[in-house]
Copies of this chain bind each other. A is one copy, B any other.
Amino acid sequence: MTADMILPRGFRSAGLACGIKENKSTFDLSLFVSDEPCVGAGVFTKNQVCGAPVKVSRERVPGDSVRAVIINSGNANACTGERGIEDARWMTSEVAQGLGFENEEVLVCSTGIIGHFLPRTPIEQGIPAVIGQLGADASSFLNAARGMMTTDTVPKQAMRELTVDGTSVRVSGVAKGAAMIAPNMATMLSVIMTDAPLSASQADALLREAVDFSFNCVSVEGHTSTSDTVILLANGASEADPLSADDLVQLQAAIMEVAMELGQAIIRDAEGADHFITIEVSGASTQAEAKEIARTIANDALVKTAIAGSDPNWGRIVSATGRTSVKLTEADIVLHLNGTLIYEKGMPAEFDEEAVSASIRDNRDVSIQLQLPFGSESIVFWTSDLTQEYVRLNSEYTT
Protein backbone atom coordinates (compact mmCIF):
# COMPACT_ATOMS: atom_id res chain seq x y z
CA MET A 1 0.00 0.00 0.00
CA THR A 2 2.72 2.47 0.86
CA ALA A 3 4.16 2.16 -2.64
CA ASP A 4 0.97 3.60 -4.18
CA MET A 5 0.81 6.59 -1.88
CA ILE A 6 0.96 9.82 -3.79
CA LEU A 7 1.01 12.45 -1.10
CA PRO A 8 0.42 16.20 -1.41
CA ARG A 9 3.64 18.15 -1.78
CA GLY A 10 5.03 20.33 0.97
CA PHE A 11 3.73 18.38 3.97
CA ARG A 12 5.68 16.21 6.39
CA SER A 13 4.37 13.98 9.11
CA ALA A 14 5.47 11.62 11.86
CA GLY A 15 4.08 9.43 14.63
CA LEU A 16 5.55 7.54 17.57
CA ALA A 17 5.03 6.17 21.07
CA CYS A 18 5.90 8.73 23.74
CA GLY A 19 4.45 6.91 26.74
CA ILE A 20 1.01 8.43 27.38
CA LYS A 21 -0.62 5.02 27.04
CA GLU A 22 -0.16 2.15 29.46
CA ASN A 23 1.46 0.02 26.76
CA LYS A 24 4.59 2.07 26.20
CA SER A 25 5.19 0.74 22.69
CA THR A 26 1.77 1.81 21.38
CA PHE A 27 1.87 4.96 19.24
CA ASP A 28 0.23 7.95 20.90
CA LEU A 29 1.67 11.11 19.32
CA SER A 30 1.33 12.44 15.75
CA LEU A 31 2.52 15.59 14.03
CA PHE A 32 1.58 17.05 10.65
CA VAL A 33 3.61 20.02 9.33
CA SER A 34 3.33 22.20 6.27
CA ASP A 35 6.70 23.42 4.97
CA GLU A 36 5.21 26.87 4.38
CA PRO A 37 2.42 28.67 6.24
CA CYS A 38 -0.79 27.26 4.85
CA VAL A 39 -4.51 27.74 4.91
CA GLY A 40 -6.30 25.80 7.65
CA ALA A 41 -9.98 25.11 8.24
CA GLY A 42 -11.63 23.06 10.94
CA VAL A 43 -14.97 21.49 11.79
CA PHE A 44 -15.43 20.66 15.45
CA THR A 45 -17.80 18.70 17.68
CA LYS A 46 -21.22 20.22 18.26
CA ASN A 47 -21.17 18.80 21.78
CA GLN A 48 -21.33 21.74 24.19
CA VAL A 49 -19.10 19.80 26.53
CA CYS A 50 -15.95 19.91 24.47
CA GLY A 51 -12.31 19.13 25.04
CA ALA A 52 -9.71 21.80 25.75
CA PRO A 53 -7.94 21.16 22.40
CA VAL A 54 -11.22 21.88 20.58
CA LYS A 55 -11.47 25.21 22.37
CA VAL A 56 -7.87 26.11 21.54
CA SER A 57 -7.89 24.97 17.90
CA ARG A 58 -11.29 26.47 17.15
CA GLU A 59 -9.89 29.94 17.84
CA ARG A 60 -7.12 29.43 15.29
CA VAL A 61 -9.08 28.45 12.18
CA PRO A 62 -10.08 29.29 9.55
CA GLY A 63 -6.88 31.15 8.79
CA ASP A 64 -4.06 31.40 6.30
CA SER A 65 -1.11 30.94 8.59
CA VAL A 66 -1.32 27.42 9.93
CA ARG A 67 1.90 25.41 10.17
CA ALA A 68 1.25 22.23 12.13
CA VAL A 69 -1.25 19.92 13.81
CA ILE A 70 -0.13 18.05 16.95
CA ILE A 71 -2.28 15.13 18.07
CA ASN A 72 -2.06 12.82 21.05
CA SER A 73 -4.10 9.72 21.81
CA GLY A 74 -4.62 8.10 25.21
CA ASN A 75 -5.98 11.22 26.89
CA ALA A 76 -8.78 13.50 25.62
CA ASN A 77 -7.92 16.48 27.81
CA ALA A 78 -11.66 17.10 28.16
CA CYS A 79 -13.52 18.24 31.32
CA THR A 80 -10.19 19.33 32.76
CA GLY A 81 -11.05 22.98 33.39
CA GLU A 82 -8.58 25.86 33.07
CA ARG A 83 -5.64 23.54 33.57
CA GLY A 84 -6.75 21.60 30.49
CA ILE A 85 -6.78 24.75 28.37
CA GLU A 86 -3.29 25.63 29.61
CA ASP A 87 -2.11 22.10 28.79
CA ALA A 88 -3.49 22.28 25.27
CA ARG A 89 -1.87 25.68 24.69
CA TRP A 90 1.36 24.33 26.14
CA MET A 91 1.36 21.45 23.64
CA THR A 92 1.15 23.90 20.75
CA SER A 93 3.89 26.08 22.22
CA GLU A 94 6.22 23.09 22.59
CA VAL A 95 5.74 22.32 18.89
CA ALA A 96 6.09 25.97 17.90
CA GLN A 97 9.29 26.30 19.87
CA GLY A 98 10.78 23.17 18.34
CA LEU A 99 10.02 24.25 14.80
CA GLY A 100 10.36 28.01 15.02
CA PHE A 101 6.67 28.74 14.51
CA GLU A 102 4.27 31.03 16.36
CA ASN A 103 2.09 29.26 18.97
CA GLU A 104 -1.03 30.36 17.11
CA GLU A 105 0.17 28.60 13.96
CA VAL A 106 -0.14 25.19 15.62
CA LEU A 107 -3.44 23.29 16.00
CA VAL A 108 -3.98 20.58 18.59
CA CYS A 109 -6.24 17.53 19.00
CA SER A 110 -6.43 15.00 21.84
CA THR A 111 -8.35 11.74 22.07
CA GLY A 112 -8.70 9.19 24.85
CA ILE A 113 -10.17 9.14 28.31
CA ILE A 114 -12.12 12.15 29.56
CA GLY A 115 -11.45 13.95 32.82
CA HIS A 116 -7.80 13.14 33.39
CA PHE A 117 -5.16 15.83 33.25
CA LEU A 118 -2.75 15.57 30.35
CA PRO A 119 0.53 13.92 31.41
CA ARG A 120 3.11 16.55 30.45
CA THR A 121 6.27 14.50 30.98
CA PRO A 122 5.92 12.00 28.13
CA ILE A 123 4.60 14.70 25.78
CA GLU A 124 7.45 17.04 26.65
CA GLN A 125 9.89 14.33 25.63
CA GLY A 126 7.76 13.14 22.72
CA ILE A 127 7.45 16.43 20.88
CA PRO A 128 11.16 16.90 20.06
CA ALA A 129 11.31 13.20 19.11
CA VAL A 130 8.34 13.40 16.76
CA ILE A 131 9.77 16.60 15.21
CA GLY A 132 12.99 14.67 14.60
CA GLN A 133 11.14 11.99 12.69
CA LEU A 134 9.17 14.25 10.33
CA GLY A 135 9.23 12.96 6.77
CA ALA A 136 7.40 13.43 3.46
CA ASP A 137 7.40 9.71 2.71
CA ALA A 138 4.57 7.22 2.96
CA SER A 139 5.82 5.50 6.09
CA SER A 140 6.01 8.76 8.03
CA PHE A 141 2.44 9.45 6.92
CA LEU A 142 1.31 6.01 8.10
CA ASN A 143 3.11 6.47 11.42
CA ALA A 144 1.15 9.69 11.89
CA ALA A 145 -2.09 7.84 11.13
CA ARG A 146 -1.06 5.31 13.81
CA GLY A 147 -0.24 7.89 16.49
CA MET A 148 -3.85 9.08 16.64
CA MET A 149 -5.39 5.60 17.00
CA THR A 150 -7.21 4.60 20.18
CA THR A 151 -9.22 1.39 19.85
CA ASP A 152 -8.90 1.40 16.06
CA THR A 153 -7.54 -1.88 14.76
CA VAL A 154 -6.10 -0.37 11.55
CA PRO A 155 -4.78 3.09 10.62
CA LYS A 156 -7.09 4.88 8.19
CA GLN A 157 -5.87 6.90 5.25
CA ALA A 158 -7.17 7.94 1.82
CA MET A 159 -5.67 9.76 -1.17
CA ARG A 160 -6.78 11.31 -4.46
CA GLU A 161 -4.91 12.97 -7.29
CA LEU A 162 -6.54 15.21 -9.86
CA THR A 163 -5.31 17.27 -12.76
CA VAL A 164 -6.04 20.97 -12.85
CA ASP A 165 -4.99 22.76 -16.06
CA GLY A 166 -2.51 19.98 -16.76
CA THR A 167 -1.07 20.23 -13.23
CA SER A 168 -1.30 17.55 -10.59
CA VAL A 169 -3.13 18.41 -7.38
CA ARG A 170 -3.20 15.96 -4.49
CA VAL A 171 -5.37 15.34 -1.47
CA SER A 172 -4.57 12.98 1.40
CA GLY A 173 -6.26 12.33 4.69
CA VAL A 174 -6.00 10.31 7.86
CA ALA A 175 -8.64 9.52 10.46
CA LYS A 176 -9.16 7.56 13.65
CA GLY A 177 -11.92 6.23 15.81
CA ALA A 178 -15.65 6.18 15.38
CA ALA A 179 -17.71 8.67 17.31
CA MET A 180 -17.79 7.48 20.91
CA ILE A 181 -17.67 3.78 20.34
CA ALA A 182 -14.48 3.33 22.28
CA PRO A 183 -14.33 2.29 25.93
CA ASN A 184 -12.00 5.19 26.66
CA MET A 185 -14.35 7.70 25.13
CA ALA A 186 -12.50 7.93 21.89
CA THR A 187 -13.24 10.47 19.26
CA MET A 188 -13.42 10.97 15.57
CA LEU A 189 -10.34 12.88 14.45
CA SER A 190 -9.22 13.53 10.89
CA VAL A 191 -6.59 15.64 9.16
CA ILE A 192 -6.93 16.20 5.40
CA MET A 193 -4.10 17.83 3.46
CA THR A 194 -3.99 19.21 -0.06
CA ASP A 195 -1.35 20.99 -2.04
CA ALA A 196 -4.02 22.96 -3.89
CA PRO A 197 -3.96 26.75 -3.50
CA LEU A 198 -7.05 27.71 -1.51
CA SER A 199 -8.10 30.78 0.42
CA ALA A 200 -9.13 30.30 4.03
CA SER A 201 -12.78 30.90 3.18
CA GLN A 202 -12.61 28.45 0.27
CA ALA A 203 -11.01 25.83 2.51
CA ASP A 204 -13.64 26.40 5.16
CA ALA A 205 -16.51 26.04 2.69
CA LEU A 206 -15.02 22.96 0.99
CA LEU A 207 -14.40 21.27 4.32
CA ARG A 208 -17.88 21.94 5.69
CA GLU A 209 -19.49 20.58 2.54
CA ALA A 210 -17.26 17.49 2.61
CA VAL A 211 -17.91 16.82 6.30
CA ASP A 212 -21.66 17.12 5.78
CA PHE A 213 -21.64 14.19 3.37
CA SER A 214 -18.98 12.08 5.01
CA PHE A 215 -18.22 12.26 8.72
CA ASN A 216 -21.66 13.71 9.45
CA CYS A 217 -23.16 10.69 7.67
CA VAL A 218 -21.61 8.06 9.89
CA SER A 219 -22.71 7.01 13.34
CA VAL A 220 -22.11 4.08 15.61
CA GLU A 221 -24.41 4.86 18.50
CA GLY A 222 -25.31 8.49 18.03
CA HIS A 223 -23.08 9.85 20.75
CA THR A 224 -21.27 12.97 19.55
CA SER A 225 -17.95 12.97 21.37
CA THR A 226 -16.45 15.90 23.22
CA SER A 227 -13.46 16.09 20.91
CA ASP A 228 -14.49 15.37 17.31
CA THR A 229 -12.32 17.40 14.95
CA VAL A 230 -11.68 17.44 11.21
CA ILE A 231 -8.95 19.72 9.91
CA LEU A 232 -8.18 20.65 6.31
CA LEU A 233 -4.74 22.03 5.46
CA ALA A 234 -4.11 23.55 2.00
CA ASN A 235 -0.59 24.76 1.31
CA GLY A 236 -0.62 25.55 -2.42
CA ALA A 237 2.59 23.55 -2.94
CA SER A 238 1.31 22.06 -6.18
CA GLU A 239 2.05 24.09 -9.28
CA ALA A 240 -1.62 24.75 -9.91
CA ASP A 241 -2.54 28.40 -10.37
CA PRO A 242 -5.38 29.93 -8.41
CA LEU A 243 -8.28 27.60 -9.03
CA SER A 244 -11.18 28.38 -11.34
CA ALA A 245 -14.72 27.60 -10.28
CA ASP A 246 -14.57 24.37 -12.29
CA ASP A 247 -11.29 23.41 -10.63
CA LEU A 248 -12.84 24.01 -7.24
CA VAL A 249 -15.69 21.67 -8.10
CA GLN A 250 -13.15 18.99 -9.04
CA LEU A 251 -11.17 19.57 -5.86
CA GLN A 252 -14.35 19.53 -3.81
CA ALA A 253 -15.13 16.11 -5.27
CA ALA A 254 -11.66 14.82 -4.40
CA ILE A 255 -11.82 16.15 -0.82
CA MET A 256 -15.32 14.72 -0.47
CA GLU A 257 -14.13 11.32 -1.72
CA VAL A 258 -11.22 11.29 0.72
CA ALA A 259 -13.53 12.26 3.59
CA MET A 260 -16.13 9.66 2.61
CA GLU A 261 -13.50 6.94 2.32
CA LEU A 262 -12.19 7.83 5.78
CA GLY A 263 -15.69 8.02 7.28
CA GLN A 264 -16.54 4.61 5.87
CA ALA A 265 -13.23 3.18 7.09
CA ILE A 266 -14.14 4.30 10.61
CA ILE A 267 -17.44 2.43 10.45
CA ARG A 268 -15.77 -0.64 8.92
CA ASP A 269 -13.44 -0.63 11.93
CA ALA A 270 -16.23 -0.04 14.48
CA GLU A 271 -15.67 -1.99 17.66
CA GLY A 272 -17.34 -5.35 17.82
CA ALA A 273 -19.35 -4.76 14.65
CA ASP A 274 -20.20 -7.60 12.27
CA HIS A 275 -21.94 -5.60 9.55
CA PHE A 276 -21.24 -2.41 7.63
CA ILE A 277 -24.64 -0.90 6.89
CA THR A 278 -25.31 1.63 4.13
CA ILE A 279 -28.59 3.50 4.52
CA GLU A 280 -29.91 5.39 1.50
CA VAL A 281 -32.92 7.64 1.98
CA SER A 282 -34.33 9.15 -1.23
CA GLY A 283 -37.38 11.12 -2.31
CA ALA A 284 -37.31 13.46 0.68
CA SER A 285 -38.38 17.11 0.54
CA THR A 286 -35.14 18.32 2.07
CA GLN A 287 -31.73 16.86 2.65
CA ALA A 288 -32.07 17.57 6.38
CA GLU A 289 -35.16 15.37 6.51
CA ALA A 290 -33.46 12.58 4.58
CA LYS A 291 -30.55 12.79 6.99
CA GLU A 292 -32.77 12.79 10.08
CA ILE A 293 -34.46 9.59 8.92
CA ALA A 294 -31.15 7.93 7.99
CA ARG A 295 -29.59 8.91 11.31
CA THR A 296 -32.58 7.68 13.34
CA ILE A 297 -32.46 4.29 11.59
CA ALA A 298 -28.66 4.18 11.99
CA ASN A 299 -28.83 4.81 15.74
CA ASP A 300 -31.76 2.52 16.47
CA ALA A 301 -30.73 -0.29 18.82
CA LEU A 302 -33.52 -2.51 17.53
CA VAL A 303 -32.59 -2.08 13.86
CA LYS A 304 -28.93 -2.66 14.72
CA THR A 305 -29.58 -5.81 16.75
CA ALA A 306 -31.88 -7.14 14.00
CA ILE A 307 -29.07 -6.78 11.46
CA ALA A 308 -26.66 -8.45 13.90
CA GLY A 309 -29.12 -11.33 13.99
CA SER A 310 -29.53 -11.43 10.15
CA ASP A 311 -33.18 -10.63 10.67
CA PRO A 312 -34.99 -8.76 7.84
CA ASN A 313 -37.17 -7.16 10.51
CA TRP A 314 -38.49 -4.27 8.40
CA GLY A 315 -41.05 -3.38 11.06
CA ARG A 316 -38.24 -1.92 13.17
CA ILE A 317 -37.00 0.20 10.24
CA VAL A 318 -40.47 1.49 9.35
CA SER A 319 -41.21 2.19 13.01
CA ALA A 320 -37.89 4.06 13.44
CA THR A 321 -38.81 6.17 10.41
CA GLY A 322 -42.17 6.96 11.96
CA ARG A 323 -40.62 8.30 15.14
CA THR A 324 -38.66 11.05 13.36
CA SER A 325 -40.02 14.58 13.05
CA VAL A 326 -40.49 14.16 9.29
CA LYS A 327 -44.19 14.31 8.49
CA LEU A 328 -45.15 10.97 6.93
CA THR A 329 -47.31 7.88 7.32
CA GLU A 330 -46.51 4.22 6.76
CA ALA A 331 -48.13 4.47 3.30
CA ASP A 332 -45.33 6.81 2.17
CA ILE A 333 -42.53 4.30 2.66
CA VAL A 334 -41.00 1.84 0.20
CA LEU A 335 -38.22 -0.28 1.63
CA HIS A 336 -35.55 -2.48 0.03
CA LEU A 337 -33.15 -4.60 2.07
CA ASN A 338 -30.10 -5.88 0.20
CA GLY A 339 -31.92 -5.05 -3.03
CA THR A 340 -35.11 -6.96 -2.20
CA LEU A 341 -38.41 -5.10 -1.91
CA ILE A 342 -39.69 -5.94 1.56
CA TYR A 343 -42.25 -3.25 2.37
CA GLU A 344 -44.34 -1.07 0.12
CA LYS A 345 -46.70 1.72 1.03
CA GLY A 346 -48.25 0.51 4.25
CA MET A 347 -48.15 -3.20 3.52
CA PRO A 348 -45.57 -5.97 3.79
CA ALA A 349 -44.31 -7.11 0.40
CA GLU A 350 -44.10 -10.80 -0.36
CA PHE A 351 -40.47 -11.81 -0.25
CA ASP A 352 -38.30 -14.78 0.56
CA GLU A 353 -37.40 -14.12 4.20
CA GLU A 354 -34.92 -16.99 4.25
CA ALA A 355 -33.06 -15.62 1.24
CA VAL A 356 -32.88 -12.07 2.60
CA SER A 357 -31.79 -13.36 6.00
CA ALA A 358 -29.06 -15.42 4.33
CA SER A 359 -27.91 -12.38 2.32
CA ILE A 360 -27.40 -10.49 5.60
CA ARG A 361 -25.75 -13.42 7.36
CA ASP A 362 -23.35 -14.19 4.51
CA ASN A 363 -22.19 -10.65 3.76
CA ARG A 364 -20.46 -7.98 5.77
CA ASP A 365 -22.17 -5.20 3.78
CA VAL A 366 -25.86 -4.55 4.23
CA SER A 367 -27.92 -2.09 2.19
CA ILE A 368 -31.08 -0.42 3.47
CA GLN A 369 -32.87 1.70 0.85
CA LEU A 370 -35.84 3.75 1.90
CA GLN A 371 -37.81 5.67 -0.73
CA LEU A 372 -40.23 8.47 0.02
CA PRO A 373 -42.64 10.23 -2.37
CA PHE A 374 -42.03 13.80 -1.26
CA GLY A 375 -39.28 15.25 -3.42
CA SER A 376 -35.88 14.61 -4.89
CA GLU A 377 -33.51 15.01 -1.95
CA SER A 378 -31.48 12.05 -0.79
CA ILE A 379 -28.66 11.05 1.54
CA VAL A 380 -26.32 8.12 2.04
CA PHE A 381 -25.45 7.26 5.64
CA TRP A 382 -23.22 4.57 7.14
CA THR A 383 -23.42 2.66 10.38
CA SER A 384 -22.54 -0.63 12.05
CA ASP A 385 -24.67 -3.26 13.73
CA LEU A 386 -25.06 -3.70 17.50
CA THR A 387 -23.49 -6.93 18.67
CA GLN A 388 -22.89 -8.60 22.00
CA GLU A 389 -19.20 -7.94 21.36
CA TYR A 390 -19.88 -4.17 21.21
CA VAL A 391 -21.53 -4.34 24.63
CA ARG A 392 -18.74 -6.49 26.04
CA LEU A 393 -16.08 -4.05 24.82
CA ASN A 394 -17.95 -1.02 26.12
CA SER A 395 -18.91 -2.43 29.50
CA GLU A 396 -15.92 -4.53 30.50
CA TYR A 397 -13.63 -1.53 30.61
CA THR A 398 -13.46 -0.39 34.21
CA THR A 399 -11.81 2.79 35.35
Interface residues of A (CB under 8 A from B): 46-50, 76, 78-81, 113-116, 180, 185, 221-226, 300-302, 305-306, 308-316, 318-323, 327-331, 333, 343, 346-348, 353, 357, 386-388, 390-392, 394-399
Contacts and interface: CB of A to CB of B under 8 A. Distances in A.
Given A50-B322, A308-B395, A302 B78 contact: no
A166 B49 CA distance: 55
A330 B394 contact: no
Chain A at the B interface: mostly helix, strand, loop or mixed?
A: loop
A301 B48 contact: no
A312 B395 CA distance: 11
B343 A391 contact: no
- Chain copies in the assembled complex: 2
Given A323-B223, A346-B79, A397 B311 contact: yes
B319 A395 contact: no
A343 B115 contact: yes
Nearest to A48: B322
Given A46-B323, A224-B323, A306 B395 contact: yes
B329 A115 contact: no
B49 A399 contact: no
A319 B223 contact: yes
B328 A48 contact: yes
A396 to B, nearest CB: 5
Given A319-B185, A388-B388, A388-B391, A399 B223 contact: no
